Amino acid sequence: MTAATLVILGASGDLTKRLLMPALYRLHALGLTPDLRIVGYAMEPWSRAHFEQHIHEALQAFAMDFKPAQWNRFRRQLDYVGGELKADQLVALKGKLSPATMFYLALPPPLFGVAATALGEAGFSESPRGGWRRLVVEKPFGTDLASAEALRGQMHTYWEEEQILRIDHFLGKETTQNLMVFRFANRFLEPIWNAQNIAQVQITYAETLGVEQRAAYYDKAGALRDMLQNHLMQLFSLTAMEPPSSWDAEVLRDHKVEVLRSVTPITAKTINKHAVRGQYRAGKLGRKKMIGYRNEPGVKRGSDTETFAALRLEVDNWRWRGVPFYLRSGKRLASNYSEIAVQFREVPGPIPHAVHAGNNWMIFRIRPVERMDLLVTAKQPGVKLAGRPVTLTAPYATPNDREFSAYEQLLVDALGGDRSNFLRFDEVEWAWRVLSPVLRAWEKGAPNFYPAGSEGPDTQARLLDLGHDWRPIALDGDG
Ligand code: BG6
C-alpha cells in the first residue's frame, strides 16, 4: 500500500473509539498499513498528546490484543486537528494530507452532507496528480428515497460517485463474502440454484440486544430502516444475483442492483402479504426480566416504532419466479441467531421408507458460529432401507486462518481502492424503492407485540406459503 493519509472526521466520537481505531490498530500490528498516517479531526480543541491519550484508553478497552510496545509504534501514526465542519477551519488540515488521502465521516447522519460540502469547499475533493481523494460514509443513507436522493445530490456537488465509498459493514463480514465465493466457485451449485430446485430462502438476523443507549436514533428509524433496507437487502442480493462475468466492482454491483430491480413491487393492496412489523414488550431472556420497548429510556411514550420487521420478497425473473425470499430481523429475540437458509424442493420420485421429505437445506450460518451446513438424508444403519437426517458441516475458519473484522476488511479495501464491497448509489436507491410502499403503509397503524426473549410476533407466519415454517431462532446451532 502506498503512503496514504486517513482523516477521520468525528475523531472524538463513539465509532472512532469502538470500531475504527481498534481496526486500524490491528491492521498496523499485522503490518498491513505501515505508512498510513491517521489524522483525527473533531470540534474539541485537543492537542495531539490529548488525542493520543484518548485513543490509548480506547484501545485498552476495545482492541483485541493490546500490547504497549505495539501501541508505541502505532501512536507515531496519529495526529490531530481541532475545528468545525467549515471550509475555513478544515483548511488547517492542508499540510497534513498526502497525495493519497481518504476522509472518513465518522459523524452523525445529519452531518454527512454538510461535511462532504465543507471538504469540497476547502478544495479537498480534487484528486492531486498521481494521487487520489476518497470519501467514506456509513449508513444510514437517508431515511427514505427522497432523503437518500437529496443526500446524494449534496455529496455529488463536489465528489464523484467513484470517490464515494458507502459502507455497509455486513459486506465486510466473512460469511457475506463467502456467499460469493461458495456460490460461484463450486460447480455443483449453480445448476440447482434456481426456482426449479429451490423452494424458499430465509434470511434471519436475530438479536438479543434491545435498543440499548440508541433510542434517539432507533425510535425514529425502526428495524426496517436499521437492518432490512441495508444489511438484509445486501445478503438477499448476493444470494439471488446472477453469476458475474468478472469480479470487477461495477459488474458485481450491476448484478446486485438487477436483483433489486427484479423484485415484484409491493403495493398498498398487497402489503399484508409482504410485510409484518412487531415491537417487543416486557418478557424474559433466560431468567432475566426485560422491560418493554416503550419503557426503554429515551423511547417516546406509546411509540409505534417497529423493533422487528419481516418481509416476503419475490424476484420476478427466470431464475427465481415462484420462490419466496423471507427476510426478518428483530431486537430482543430469543437468541443471537443469524443465517441464510436455502431449502431445496422435494425429490420427484418415490423416497425410501421413513425418509422425511423436504429436509434438504443449505445453511450459511452467521451467528452464533460462522459455518456452512448442508442438511441431507442418508441411510439409517440397519437392516431396513430407511433414511435419517444428516448434517454435512464445514466450519468456516480453521484454527490457522487469520480472520478480519468487518472494519478491518473494509478499511483495507477502501485504502486499496477496491469498491466491490461498498454500495453504489443505485443499490441504496433500489433498496429504498422496494421498501417505500411498506414505509408509507407503516406510517399508520401499530406493530404487533411480541414478548422480549421470544421468536417475534406470531403474525409473521402470514407471510409464508403453505407448507413453509419459519426456522426456529432459538436453536443451539444444530437445527
Ligand atoms: C447495525 C444496526 O447497523 O448493525 C444495529 O444499526 C445492529 O442495530 C447491528 O445491532 C448488527 O450488526 P453486528 O455486526 O453488530 O451484529
Question: What are the structural domains, with CATH classification, of the chain?
Answer: 4-138 (3.40.50.720), 171-463 (3.30.360.10)
Res 357 pLDDT > 80: no
Q: Which atom of ligand 1 is nearest to the CA of 139?
A: 3
In this structure, which amino acid lies at residue 306? Answer: E
Q: Which atom of ligand 1 is nearest to the CA of 231?
A: 3
Confidence at residue 399, expressed as pLDDT on a 0 to 100 scale: 84
How far does Cα 44 stand from its chain's mean position? 31
How far does Cα 124 stand from its chain's mean position? 29
Res 351 pLDDT > 80: no
What is the distance in A from the centroid of ligand 1 to the CA of 172? 13
> Is the beta carbon of 207 within 6 A of some atom in ligand 1?
yes
Q: Are 478 and 472 in contact (CB under 8 A)?
A: no
Q: Which atom of ligand 1 is nearest to the CA of 338?
A: 16
Angstrom distance (rounded) from CA 207 to CA 201:
20
Confidence at residue 358, expressed as pLDDT on a 0 to 100 scale: 66
Res 1 pLDDT > 60: no
Mean pLDDT score, 413-434: 97
Q: Are 113 and 154 in contact (CB under 8 A)?
A: yes
Confidence at residue 20, expressed as pLDDT on a 0 to 100 scale: 97
What tens digit of pLDDT does each residue of 247-276 get? 999 999 999 999 999 999 999 999 999 999
In this structure, which amino acid lies at residue 88? Answer: D
> CA nearest 275: which of 293, 284, 263?
263
> Is the beta carbon of 226 within 6 A of some atom in ligand 1?
yes
What is the distance in A from the centroid of ligand 1 to the CA of 226? 8
Confidence at residue 479, expressed as pLDDT on a 0 to 100 scale: 42
Residue that has been written with the C-alpha cell 478491518 in this structure:
408
Res 355 pLDDT > 70: no
Q: Which residue, judged by its Cα, is nearest atom 7 of ligand 1?
A: 227
> CA nearest 308: which of 216, 444, 235, 204?
204
State the catalytic residues. 231
> Is the beta carbon of 168 within 6 A of some atom in ligand 1?
no
What is the distance in A from the centroid of ligand 1 to the CA of 149? 24
Helix pair angle (21-29, 48-62), 10° resolution:
80
Burial class (CB in 10 A: 0-12, 13-18, 19+), 282: middle
Q: Which residue, judged by its Cα, is nearest atom 16 of ligand 1?
A: 207
* DSSP letter assigned to residue 93: G
% of the chain at pLDDT higher than 90:
89
Q: Which atom of ligand 1 is nearest to the CA of 406?
A: 14
Mean pLDDT score, 14-42: 96
Q: Which of 19, 227, 296, 407 to mutate to test the pocket of ligand 1 (most atoms within 8 A of CB)?
A: 227
Between the alpha carbon of residue 473 and those of residues 32, 179, 342, 469, the distances in Å are 38, 21, 15, 12
Confidence at residue 398, expressed as pLDDT on a 0 to 100 scale: 84
Sign of CA pseudo-dihedral 108, 10, 429, 158: positive
What is the distance in A from the centroid of ligand 1 to the CA of 386? 44
Q: Are 431 and 233 in contact (CB under 8 A)?
A: yes
% of the chain at pLDDT higher than 70:
97
Res 193 pLDDT > 50: yes
Angstrom distance (rounded) from CA 438 to CA 425:
21
> Is the beta carbon of 138 within 6 A of some atom in ligand 1?
no
* DSSP letter assigned to residue 467: T
Res 338 pLDDT > 80: yes
What tens digit of pLDDT does each residue of 429-445 get? 999 999 999 999 999 99
What global pTM score does this model have?
Answer: 0.96
Confidence at residue 477, expressed as pLDDT on a 0 to 100 scale: 44
Q: Which residue, judged by its Cα, is nearest atom 4 of ligand 1?
A: 227
What tens digit of pLDDT does each residue of 73-108 get? 999 999 999 999 999 999 999 999 999 999 999 999
